[in-house]
Structure 1
Amino acid sequence: MAGKIKKGSLVHAVREKLEASVEATASDTRFPPYLFDSKGEVVEMDGDYAFVKFYVPTPGMWLRLDQLELAE
């Protein structure tokens, strides 16, 4: 599914892939629910990463493409 993600796509994080990631072991593993329950927009891409801006009053974040799926 990550192959279909492009700039402007609406996405949300995949809980299983994000919680089991190397990034999770390097930071607080209490991820906010909006990462999984709401839609975010891909505003930039760089290699295997996408910068996602969620529609909540928080800063955007870089996530690996395999940790994202297209939102319906």
Structure 2
Amino acid sequence: MAVKRGDLVRVVREKLENSLEAQASDTRFPPYIFETKGEVVDMKGDYAMVKFGYVPTPNFWLRADQLEKVS
């Protein structure tokens, strides 16, 4: 099921760690992207901007297929 703006999501570790994006950047991802729910705040093509948690943390652009919906 595709994610859309406003959905609560969690990052799928296996899909992110083995991705082209991970190979092209720092692979030391912060644990909170795997452990907390994030909200999709914007979509551009195959990518979603995700805002995590209630404390100030950076937003991430991630491929939509690297995310899973949570309730």
Dislocated runs of 4+, deviation >3 Å: none
Give the percent of matched residue pairs that are identical in Structure 1 and Structure 2.
Answer: 69
Q: Which residue of 2 aligns with 1:17?
A: 15
RMSD: 1.0
Return the TM-score normalized by structure 1. Answer: 0.90
User: 1:43 matched to which residue of 2?
Assistant: 41
CA positional deviation for 1:14: 0.2
Structure 1 unaligned regions, length at least 5: none
The counterpart of 1:34, out of the listed 16, 23, 32, is 32
Q: How many residues align?
A: 70
Residue equivalent to 1:62: 61
Structure 2 spans left out of the alignment, 5+ residues: none
Worse-superposed segment, 16-25 or 47-56: 47-56
Q: Offset of 1:15 from its aligned partner?
A: 0.2
**Alignment-mate amino acid for residue 62 of structure 2:** L
SS at match of 2:50: strand
Shift of 1:26: 1.1
- Tell me the CA shift for residue 7 of structure 1: 0.5
